[in-house]
Amino acid sequence: MNNQLADTKKEVLLQWISLVGLAVLLVILFIILGVNQFQVSDPYIKNVLSLQGDPVKGHAIFRMNCAGCHEWPTDSQVGPSLEGISQHKSDVAIINQIVSGQTPPMPQFQANEQEMADLLSYLKEI
C-alpha cells in the first residue's frame, strides 16, 4: 500500500512539473510574441518595411558604411560576414541590429527609412 501511495505521489508530482513547464513555455512564447509585435509597431521599422528597397542603392550604402568591417572575402574582417544574414535573422532583427549598434564595436547607423529599406533589400540578396 505504501508503494502504491508513493507511486501516486510521484505521478501527481510529475503532472505538476509538466504543467509548470508548459506554463513557463507559454509565458516565454507570449513574451517573444509581445516583443516582436512591439518592434513591428515601431514607426521607423514599420515605415522601412512598407517601402520598396533598391538593392543597387543598398549595395552602395553597404560599401560606404558596412564593408569596412563586414566585407568578404577578406582576411581583415572585423565583423561577421553578412552573406545569408536574412536566412538567419528577421527583417526586424536586422534593422534593430543596424540602428542599435548593440554589438560592440559596431556603431549605431541611423539611416533614413528609404536608405534602410535599400540596405535591407541588398542584404536579402547576399
Q: What percent of the chain has pLDDT over 70?
A: 78
Residues 1 and 24 in one domain: yes
46 band by pLDDT with thresholds 50, 70 and 90: very high
Tell me which residue range forms the domain holding 49.
43-126
Residues 19 and 36 in one domain: yes
Residues 7 and 67 in one domain: no
Distance CA 89, CA 111 (A): 19
Lowest mean pLDDT among 31-35, 48-52, 107-111: 31-35
Residues 58 and 100 in one domain: yes
Peptide bond between residue 43 and the one before it cis (omega within 30 degrees of 0): no
pTM of full prediction above 0.85: no
Round the average pLDDT of the chain to a whole number and report it: 81
Residues 27 and 7 in one domain: yes
